[in-house]
Structure 1
Amino acid sequence: MTQFSLHNEKALDFLDMMITNTTKDAEIEHNVAFPNRLYRQTSKATAEDKLAFTVQVLEEVAALFEEDHSSASWEENTVENFLNIVNKQAEELHSCIGSHSYTTQKGQQLSFRTEMYFKRLLNEILKKNGYSAEAWEVIRNITQAHLRQCEFLISPGTAH
């Protein structure tokens, strides 16, 4: 898992480079709360379910950053490097669990809730705000929190 930590640090570094210089001081209002409950539930799950959850979060993050981010004025190769690392993390973790899908009904519920959460981010923050630089800054900050939570979730002690 140390490989995950190294890749995660690189991904966080790229996110730090992607700070959006917004001209408005107004923060985007949204009602999409960070899914702390999902992380708490997952922390009690099997090692395989923790990895499957982390893979799903990484894939959902990558899908978000595939959306139109032209108004964010990010360097395109920084975004590409970030996406490459996130996708690489997802692939490597997925190889640790093979064809594992959530083994329990609880795991399947986590998967569904995670998917719905990321759809709300897309609809309530990005689409609703016209993919603005301000909306992307909110998404960037939320993504940083997810990467940190994922690292904590599968930190050493979670063997594969």
Structure 2
Amino acid sequence: MLNRILLVCLLFAGSSLTCKWMDTNFKRYTEGALALLKTMKMNSTNSTDDVKLPDAAAFPNELYRHASKAPVSENKHSFAAHVLDKIVVLFREDQTHASWSARTGEDFLNVITQQADGVASCVSITSHKKSHRKMSMYFKRLALHVLEEMEHSADAWELIREQVRLHIYRAHRLAEA
């Protein structure tokens, strides 16, 4: 009995320590990622005003609304961790034709990977592994309908960059709520 009480206390203590990452680092990593995305846009020489995102890859506002209504902040953090993980996967695609430098792309990938790992440290393993199937499907559609169909072109990457900027902003708002 005493062992169980001690185990529960240790779990709660460990959980509160890991969530300090959200208080001390999350905002800094978000700002760093957004600054890199802004730099990537400034380096863009192509105009994507006439290039539109396919309807199949429209921004999933309803998923964020649903996640924001979660009663427990760990569920919000889990959703944010999942989004960041999917951004990492997306940015591991071929960026050869992107308008930004390879170094800038690598820097962004490093920042977003560290942020995803940090957020994941604030959620339990079962919560982080929780299926966010609709969001996963959304990112697969982005990869298929934007990157693959547009042959990983600079225009495709600019559309992806803008979608990712929105996701980072929304994930930040969600995790801070």
Output the TM-score relative to the length of structure 1. Answer: 0.87
Paired with 1:13 and 1:102, the residues of 2 have a C-alpha distance of 27
Contact 1:38 1:114 in 2 (8 A): yes
- Equivalent residue number for residue 68 of structure 1: 94
| Matching residue within 54, 72, 75 for 1:30 | 54
* Residue 28 to residue 48, structure 1, CA distance change in 2 (3 Å): same
* Residue 22 to residue 113, structure 1, CA distance change in 2 (3 Å): same
SS of the residue corresponding to residue 37 of structure 1 reads helix
Paired with 2:26 and 2:48, the residues of 1 have a C-alpha distance of 36
- Equivalent residue number for residue 4 of structure 2: none
| Matching residue within 81, 88, 91 for 2:107 | 81
SS of the residue corresponding to residue 169 of structure 2 reads helix
Offset, 1:29 = 4.5
- Equivalent residue number for residue 82 of structure 2: 56
* Residue 23 to residue 11, structure 1, CA distance change in 2 (3 Å): closer
Poorly superposed stretches of 4+, deviation over 4 Å:
none
SS of the residue corresponding to residue 125 of structure 2 reads coil
Matched, 1:9 2:35: no
- Equivalent residue number for residue 124 of structure 1: 145
Letter in 1 for 2:73: A
Contact 1:14 1:78 in 2 (8 A): yes
Contact 1:12 1:147 in 2 (8 A): yes
Paired with 1:88 and 1:68, the residues of 2 have a C-alpha distance of 20
* Residue 24 to residue 7, structure 1, CA distance change in 2 (3 Å): closer
Taking only the aligned residue pairs, the percentage that are identical comes to: 37
- Equivalent residue number for residue 3 of structure 2: none
Task: Say which structure is richer in helix.
Answer: 2
Output the TM-score relative to the length of structure 2. Answer: 0.79
Deviation track 1:101-130 (CA, whole Å, cap 9, x = no partner) reads 269xxx64xx00000000000001110111
RMSD of aligned alpha carbons: 1.8
Matched, 1:134 2:155: yes
* Residue 95 to residue 135, structure 1, CA distance change in 2 (3 Å): same
| Bigger mean CA offset, 16-25 vs 145-154 | 16-25
Matched, 1:41 2:66: yes
Contact 1:48 1:100 in 2 (8 A): no
Contact 2:48 2:159 in 1 (8 A): no
Q: Equivalences for 1:93-108 in 2 at 5 Å?
A: 93-101=119-127, 108=131
Paired with 1:65 and 1:102, the residues of 2 have a C-alpha distance of 20
Paired with 1:76 and 1:142, the residues of 2 have a C-alpha distance of 19
